[in-house]
Amino acid sequence: MSPAPRSLTLLGATGSVGSSTLDLVARHRDLFRIEAVTANGDAEGLARIARAFGARFAAVADPAAGPRLAEALSGSGIEAGSGPEAVVDAAARPADLVMAAISGAAGVEPVLAAIGQGTTIALANKESLVAAGAMVMGAARSRGVSILPVDSEHNAVFQALAGSRMEDVETISITASGGPFRTWTAAAIAAARPEDALKHPNYTMGAKVTVDSASLMNKGLELIEAHHLFEVEPARLKALVHPQQVVHGMVAFRDGSVVAQLGPADMRVPIAHCLGFPGRIDGPSARLDLAALGILTFEEPDLLRFPCLRLAIEAMEAGGRAPTVLNAANEVAVEAFLARRIGFGAIAAIVSDTLDALGAGQAPATMGDLRFVDHAARDRARSSLLRLAAPAS
Ligand code: NDP
């Protein structure tokens, strides 16, 4: 007799990671059952998903989208909720696995709620570890909850570590495509427009993470994520530009061995690893053909042309509340850039100004601390946005 399907709650179901996860679930209906799904404002998209996968509960974070969700689910027997607290309720429902794929610091509270229930987390929402790494990892440790990394680089490192002792690890390297501006001059990067930044060379992702990839802030956020996930100090963490994005992460050990994970640039690979863990499930991605690829190249990231990466590394080294402030300021700046209120070059300037003003201090230890620091940083970033921003063309 085959085992009962595992129950899965999907936070951020309407997004890019959410869609890739649902693609896998649709191929493995015998293995997974969807318990709850959430979105922000896309009530109709969420209702379609909830109906198609027979979810028991669906929630939108935006209260204004609540009536549309209730309407779209009427007659389905699926319970509907709205407001940020309904998303937290979704995360706290009994499930075998919660896929945390909300974008931004809005993901922290649902992740903590799922950990509080002792539910294993597949974590895509890197901002929750950047903004609240000590809180999230502390809660996971005290509840004995496993956090499985979905981010392809961290998933690669997790696989390369395979339970090794951290004292045997010399360095952990995560790779970056280098983004669409890898070969651009500093002046051209500073003047880049949203349509330029949204052209990721290898992946199709949500807008925020795509802009972060173009500024290399994404790699900085990922270094901070790795620092918390693997409990490794900043000096042992490295970012390496690797335009082909075939090697996603590697671990160098004290005996001189380097263990790397390779795979196609398809998020369904790390997601499938998390869904199947500790086993494996069939994945649909195109298989790697190294002979066809021929050459893999690597280069050091340029911290002068990509100041966001430098700022993130400095925030990681400073610790305390600096990463929380960095993350909040970056979210405000990226949103303003996407709305064409500022140029690309202003993103780093706003983050830098906000860190100078508010970066010193203790890491948030409670949701109250986190809200306080996050709001203060967003306010400061908004005011520096007005002062520093050159209007975008
Ligand atoms: P998307 O922008 O595509 O999707 C974000 C999801 O979160 C949507 O379902 C959105 O709902 C929901 N959401 C947005 N804001 C809120 C909020 N305030 N409260 C509740 N839900 C909200 O993002 P991605 O899927 O690209 O990324 C998700 C996370 O995964 C990010 O942290 C990203 O850094 C990380 N990640 C993404 C990768 C990728 O390939 N996309 C790769 C590795 C990591 P709605 O549709 O209603 O707006």
In a domain, 189, yes or no: yes
Same domain, 101 and 37: yes
- Phi and psi at 239, nearest 5°, equal -110, 140
Q: What average pLDDT score do residues 46-67 get?
A: 98
In a domain, 311, yes or no: no
Q: What is the residue with the minimal CA distance to atom 42 of ligand 1?
A: 151
Q: What is the residue with the minimal CA distance to atom 41 of ligand 1?
A: 205
**Which numbered atom of ligand 1 lies nearest the CA of 204?**
40
Report the alpha-carbon distance of residue 301 to residue 156 in Å, rounded.
20
In tens, the pLDDT along 162-189 reads: 989 999 999 999 999 999 999 999 999 9
**Mutational test site, ligand 1, from 40, 153, 218, 219, max ligand atoms within 8 Å of CB:** 40
Same domain, 216 and 204: yes
**Mutational test site, ligand 1, from 22, 38, 102, 267, max ligand atoms within 8 Å of CB:** 102
In a domain, 176, yes or no: yes
In a domain, 381, yes or no: yes
101 within 8 A of 112, measured Cβ to Cβ? no
Q: What is the residue with the minimal CA distance to atom 20 of ligand 1?
A: 40
**Which numbered atom of ligand 1 lies nearest the CA of 124?**
30
For residue 13, the CA-to-ligand 1 centroid distance in Å is 8
- Please state the pTM of the whole predicted model: 0.96
Choose the weakest-confidence range: 53-62, 341-350, 382-391.
Answer: 382-391
Same domain, 88 and 210: no
Amino acid sitting at position 74: S
Whether the pLDDT of residue 370 is over 80: the answer is: yes
**CB-ligand 1 contact for 213 (6 Å cutoff):** no
Summary mean pLDDT of the chain:
96
Binned at pLDDT 50, 70 and 90, residue 363 comes out as very high
Same domain, 323 and 283: no
In a domain, 314, yes or no: no
12 within 8 A of 39, measured Cβ to Cβ? yes
Report the alpha-carbon distance of residue 131 to residue 150 in Å, rounded.
17
For residue 258, the CA-to-ligand 1 centroid distance in Å is 32
Task: Name the residue range of residue 265's domain.
Answer: 152-306
DSSP code of residue 364: P
Of the three residues 250, 278, 306, the one that is the final residue of a domain is 306
Same domain, 185 and 283: yes
**CB-ligand 1 contact for 215 (6 Å cutoff):** no
> 3-state SS of the chain: helix, strand, coil percent to 5?
50, 15, 35
Whether the pLDDT of residue 345 is over 50: the answer is: yes
pLDDT of residue 348: 98
pLDDT of residue 389: 58
In tens, the pLDDT along 73-128 reads: 999 999 999 999 999 999 999 999 999 999 999 999 999 999 999 999 999 999 99
**CB-ligand 1 contact for 225 (6 Å cutoff):** no
Q: What is the residue with the minimal CA distance to atom 43 of ligand 1?
A: 151
Helix (H) or strand (E) holding 25: helix 16-27
Same domain, 175 and 288: yes
* Domains of the chain: total: 3
Same domain, 299 and 287: yes
CATH number at residue 26: 3.40.50.720
In a domain, 1, yes or no: no
pLDDT of residue 344: 97
pLDDT of residue 260: 98
The burial class, CB within 10 Å (0-12 / 13-18 / 19+), for 320 is middle
pLDDT of residue 387: 86
pLDDT of residue 333: 98
Report the alpha-carbon distance of residue 256 to residue 249 in Å, rounded.
16
Q: What is the residue with the minimal CA distance to atom 4 of ligand 1?
A: 15
pLDDT of residue 304: 98
In a domain, 312, yes or no: no
Same domain, 43 and 189: no
Whether the pLDDT of residue 390 is over 70: the answer is: no
Of the three residues 252, 275, 306, the one that is the final residue of a domain is 306
**CB-ligand 1 contact for 132 (6 Å cutoff):** no
The burial class, CB within 10 Å (0-12 / 13-18 / 19+), for 5 is middle
Q: What is the residue with the minimal CA distance to atom 27 of ligand 1?
A: 103
pLDDT of residue 391: 53
pLDDT of residue 388: 72
Same domain, 31 and 61: yes
**Which numbered atom of ligand 1 lies nearest the CA of 39?**
11
pLDDT of residue 1: 63
Cα→Cα distances 183→186, 188, 226, 233, Å: 9, 10, 26, 30
Query: Across the chain, which distance is largest between two alpha carbons, in Å?
Result: 66
Same domain, 169 and 297: yes
196 within 8 A of 215, measured Cβ to Cβ? no
CATH number at residue 372: 1.10.1740.10
Choose the weakest-confidence range: 71-85, 198-212, 276-290.
Answer: 198-212
Binned at pLDDT 50, 70 and 90, residue 393 comes out as very low
Residue percentage of the chain with pLDDT more than 70: 98
For residue 54, the CA-to-ligand 1 centroid distance in Å is 22
Same domain, 19 and 117: yes
**CB-ligand 1 contact for 127 (6 Å cutoff):** yes
**CB-ligand 1 contact for 21 (6 Å cutoff):** no
Same domain, 386 and 273: no
In a domain, 87, yes or no: yes
**CB-ligand 1 contact for 125 (6 Å cutoff):** yes
For residue 185, the CA-to-ligand 1 centroid distance in Å is 30
In tens, the pLDDT along 129-165 reads: 999 999 999 999 999 999 999 999 999 999 999 989 9
pLDDT of residue 203: 84
Of the three residues 115, 150, 185, the one that is the final residue of a domain is 150
Whether the pLDDT of residue 2 is over 80: the answer is: no
